[in-house]
Every structure is written in C-alpha cells, then in structure tokens.
Amino acid sequence: SRPRSLCSPQGFLYAAPVREQGNIYKPNNKMMADELSEKAVHDVHTKEIDLVNRDPKHLNDDVVKIDFEDVIAEPEGTHSFDGIWKASFTTFTVTKYWFYRLLSAIFGIPMALIWGIYFAILSFLHIWAVVPCIRSYLIEIQCISRVYSICIHTFCDPLFEAIGKVFSSIRATVRKEI
C-alpha cells in the first residue's frame, strides 16, 4: 500500500521524532529534569516569602519604626510613678501592635489588591505606552538631529573658524607692577 520509508515501525504514517532527552513534560535524563525543577523554583508567583525579615530592602526603616521612647519621654526632674511609666509603656506597645494587626487583617488584602492593580496598570502603561512613545520620539528626532547637525556644520563651523583665525593673531602679555 504505502512505501515503507514513510511509515514508522508501528505502521503509523510519519511517527513523532524521538529525542534523546525526552520531551519537556517527561524528561528522561537527570540533567533536563534538574533544569526544569530549577526553573519552577524561580517562578515569582510561587516563591517563598521570608516571614521573619518582612522588609528585606529596608523601605520603612526611617518611617514607621516608632517605639515608645520616640513618642513619649519624661525629662529629668519630671517623672511619673514607675508603675505608671511601665503601664504606659505596655499599653502603648500592645495597643500599637494589636491595632496594626487588626487593621492589617481588615484592610491588608483589599489594599494588596488595590496596589496590585495600580502597579499592574503602571507597568502596563510603562511597557505599552511610555517606552514606545519615547522610542518613537527618539527615532523621529534623530532625523531632525541630523538636519540640525548639517546646518550647524555648514553655517556655524566656517564662521567660528574665521573668528578664531582673526583672534588667533592677538597676543596678550601680563606685567606685574610693584
């Protein structure tokens, strides 16, 4: 029926080529499997976050690191009772801690959603509008730049060379009189 050269050993027409490394979904060698697992680890959407150091780039070091001593201080000679001072410290610290947690629990996810949308729009505009406009402008201005350069070299260069030759014959000497 069909020529033997067009058929695979199983009798199928045009068998799928077999690669030594296997396909990308089921690699049959260790090196390719390791490469795929490394790529999966570097996915930004599934990366693990550090639950201990939550500000690794130190964005808020100078802004919201406020302790009791940064807000309330009693100068020398004006001290409240020690028990009141300790209770005030504990009240301030615990209130700040738990109220922040409460606000984070209520507004954290909605704010993350809003900021995610905002930065997605910002990225989209930058990638699809700002950079192409700037590149387009640079391409278009290059033509004007060349015409401007030709005009400067044609008209200004000879003028400035002539003026330079006129003033090159002037000699100035400086004498110091005592």
Tens of pLDDT, residue by residue over 65-117, are 888 888 888 889 889 999 999 999 999 999 999 999 999 999 999 999 999 99
Alpha-carbon distance of 155 to 151, in angstroms, equals 6
Alpha-carbon distance of 170 to 163, in angstroms, equals 12
Alpha-carbon distance of 141 to 148, in angstroms, equals 10
pLDDT given at position 30: 59
pLDDT given at position 36: 53
pLDDT given at position 57: 86
Mean pLDDT computed over every residue of the chain: 81
DSSP string, 49-61: P-SS-S-TT-TTT
Greatest Cα pair distance, the chain, in angstroms, is 119
